[in-house]
A and B are shown apart, each in its own frame.
Chain A
């Protein structure tokens, strides 16, 4: 075997090593530059991206919901405020899977904390929120429920009790119709709200002013940055690393100052006790709604507290329909209360003079027809002029008026007073009523035979019957227009907004409507006098004129809710209660300087407008126009009625006591809401213009 022996070449080897080392050095430099380039990329090119990630890592942003604006009546009495409540809330991504969520909810129902019937609805609500949001599943826990949950808390991951500001309505049913209520944000609300504005908020206006003025009342949420560690737990660090954490305080919602006068509202609501009906009182000088009552009412606190689906269903199914706001959602035939407007129409179009005497034999006979149109007064009124026809509500006189006017002029003229269209009040759900016309009939019916307008229908509309429908709000608005001699305003509930922190409210100016033109003062005077005579001896509402320290101008109405057969006469005693006539009343006072216009409607009354509805209006006038009665008298009356007007059907919960009205808003419920609203207390008496 030959073995090659190589001689070590020291200089050559040294050269090889040097060259290799230099090459290695270059490789080292290139690789280190690669690392440097990578660092440059991370720290300069993508700096913002990684800063955001780092920020998101260490800081968790917690929303601070704003305190909802208060709602006060025109004298500064708080009608809606906030108070702390314990809410059961669920954070979906903390619970785990959908199955676990279902199981947890079922377990809560088993413990009696949720109603089993609500589970599908609750699940739907929870799923409609983003997984990391805390969704309320029960709005107000009682002490007992708190105790039950505390015992079983360990069973529920991601479900916990949070203290939140809940809505409180000190007067409950009394103001429910105007204010409405708030409820948990549901899937449908989420479709039209900006989720960033509602971060941390669990309640939203569902009905009434709470809904209309949602954006005003809600405010803007703030946020608080919380330092968290890698485990996601909030930390407070003692070391040198103490970053500045931002906190943005929420901006509370603005307060609403209402036109309502709680005293008048209370009287109106109490007067309707045990009846189904509505009262609307409007200041004819500016459209302020002083009272808006509907009976029976409901307790909005139960909504803020969270109704179970069953309870809600029961409220909706109640035959007395407490959820129906009769004042503006109920459309009724106005009956004889339409007569003053037809009288004005007749004078305006010159189809009759104030002094023209028309003979009322107790019936009217339309030429070419065999049908007899009866007057409510059996024997007839005899010779009768306009003033007396209004005061005594002669039907025959107005059959003649209608016959001479024709339906088109009637339709056109009464439309100016707002009949047949929504008044535009600032709460939702208003019915538009109906001021019929031949054109309307052509469109409303499918059957061509029904599309024809018959002359007899004109006569019926002439006494506010037939197709004609109006809401109590429309009646009040229209009579306010008479009171103001043709001037009118859009009815409104909110007269001012007080921004958070402000001492005084920003008044909202009244919204004037086009004036009713073409009526001379003398013509207004005739109708005025006719309405004043109605409350004088011999008038249809003579009872309420007695002992009144001011003059009331009024018109009664008794409207049939079903058609009598030909030549049939109405007999209250033989008729089904549901089919009894509605009693109506429109009025304003003082007649020489009207300050309040009141419309009253009582469904299926046992009596006529003058007997049932008129005394209610008188009480409202007294409450508003006369100095307030002594407190001792009013407190006793208060607590009973406020409660009894609540819907007390088979289904409703035992009603909780409605607190008696504080004569001054002290001690203020707002105080209970703590510092959040601390400086924002309304000053008593700072609002109100009377």
Chain B
């Protein structure tokens, strides 16, 4: 396969019609295939988890169509040059929209994450998941690596602005994911090891300080994560029911559409945030490990594609997209199995819902575009 990429002459001989189509669309075959597989699994599980709700499946298929379209368009028509130009614009637009959301949310009292555009509702914080790593990569593109202290401060500011705005919504989970996507760029760019080590006590201090800053319900979430049984029917209910669902699935699961926890509504948010528990209950350990394996392949393949990037922007953006994807997987799987606090993060590509799916597949579109629009050495 590697040879396919590197030597066109040999590749030409083995090209099938499908591969040729992938080539024409500038898609990466293995990555596209596995992503498609994950999407199919997602649809099947949503059908079961929603209590055999056909309407939800239809809407999810619609979401997939939109997201896949975004992927294909980005992969086919965006080039690294355009993307580099687009990054600051996207970032600026995103920050603007976040301010709008915060202001309207403040007026409307309560959490405000959506922007109603009339024909669709839209979550500006989702843009930031891509815009933040891209702006950081854009910033480092012309600068020598590893980044100087100035560069680090600059990137920290790029990260801090949207993160603070999302925290203010308040949406701590998304804020952390946005911050993580930016930090990933910093790490990949060559953040000095001394700073990484130094940041550990600083982060601990920040956590202590943040404890008094976060909302009561967020504090409660962390407390119940530490001891779910302290609040069986309240905040701990989600975690307990999720672990019951997973644990009772055993190695082989209870069978498709036979998970009692999900089917009898004991498992909350079974189609969205806790869909991984449904997989655990109905398909068991084998099912969950298979899904994790597919995710691992996606992450590995993405990292591999990123490593082949020919410039800093391509590499950093690609790496950030790959590792952000991992963060989503880890936070969600860790949450439902009880090793990470409950954060409202969907399982990427499987959970019911359109926004995050569009963002994620758009990210992969960018990744593939950056890879397929390389100037091939020796050609």
Contact = CB atoms under 8 A, between A and B. Distances in A.
B190 interface: yes
B299 interface: yes
B323 A28 contact: yes
Interface residues of A, number: 48
B260 A58 contact: yes
A316 B244 CA distance: 56
A21 B319 contact: yes
Contact of A228 (B187, B264, B329): B264
Interface stretch (B120-128, B210-218, B282-290, B356-364): B282-290
A240 B51 CA distance: 10
Nearest to B316: A17
A50 B248 contact: yes
B307 interface: yes
Interface in B328-348: 329-330, 333-334, 337-339
B248 A51 contact: yes
A35 B333 contact: yes
Contacts of B307: 17-18, 21
Nearest to A7: B144
Interface stretch (A229-237, A590-598, A645-653): A229-237
Nearest to B240: A53
Contact of B306 (A21, A28, A42, A55): A21
Interface in A1-49: 6-9, 12-14, 16-18, 20-21, 24-25, 28-29, 31-32, 34-36, 38-40, 42-44, 46-47, 49
Nearest to B338: A38
Nearest to A38: B337
Contacts of B247: 42-43, 46-47, 49-51, 53-54
A25 B322 CA distance: 10
Contacts of A13: 144-145, 190, 312
Contacts of A241: 257-260, 263-264
Contact of B288 (A39, A58, A227): A39
A32 B306 CA distance: 20
Contact of B284 (A43, A46, A58): A43
Contacts of A57: 241, 244, 260-261, 264, 266
A13 B334 CA distance: 33
Given A16-B190, A25-B300, A58-B266, A50 B244 contact: yes
Contacts of B265: 229-231
Interface in B288-339: 288-289, 292, 295-296, 299-300, 303, 306-307, 309, 312, 315-316, 319, 323, 326, 329-330, 333-334, 337-339
A667 interface: no
A40 B285 contact: yes
B222 interface: no
Contact of A243 (B249, B260, B288): B260
B165 interface: no
B245 interface: yes
Interface string A224-258: 00011111000101011101000000000000000
B251 interface: yes
Contacts of A25: 299-300, 303
B280 interface: yes
Contacts of B52: 239-240
Contact of B250 (A17, A35, A51): A51
B315 A39 contact: no
A42 B245 CA distance: 10
User: Which of B263, B312, B315 has most chain A Cβ within 10 Å?
Assistant: B263
B243 A42 contact: yes
B251 A239 contact: no
Contact of B339 (A21, A35, A49, A230): A35
Nearest to B259: A241
Nearest to B334: A35
A229 B241 CA distance: 13
Contact of B285 (A44, A50, A228): A44
A12 B190 CA distance: 11
A239 B257 contact: yes
Contacts of A239: 51-52, 257, 263
Nearest to A14: B315
Task: Please list the 4 inter-chain residue pairs (A to B) with the smallest Cβ-Cβ separation, ordered nearest first.
Answer: A50-B247, A54-B248, A6-B144, A58-B260
Given A24-B187, A43-B285, 15 more contacts: A9-B144, A16-B146, A16-B189, A17-B306, A28-B323, A28-B330, A32-B296, A42-B247, A43-B251, A43-B284, A50-B246, A57-B264, A229-B266, A240-B257, A241-B259
20 contacts: A7-B144, A17-B306, A24-B187, A28-B326, A34-B339, A35-B292, A39-B246, A39-B289, A39-B337, A43-B247, A44-B285, A46-B247, A53-B244, A54-B245, A54-B248, A57-B261, A57-B266, A229-B264, A239-B263, A240-B257
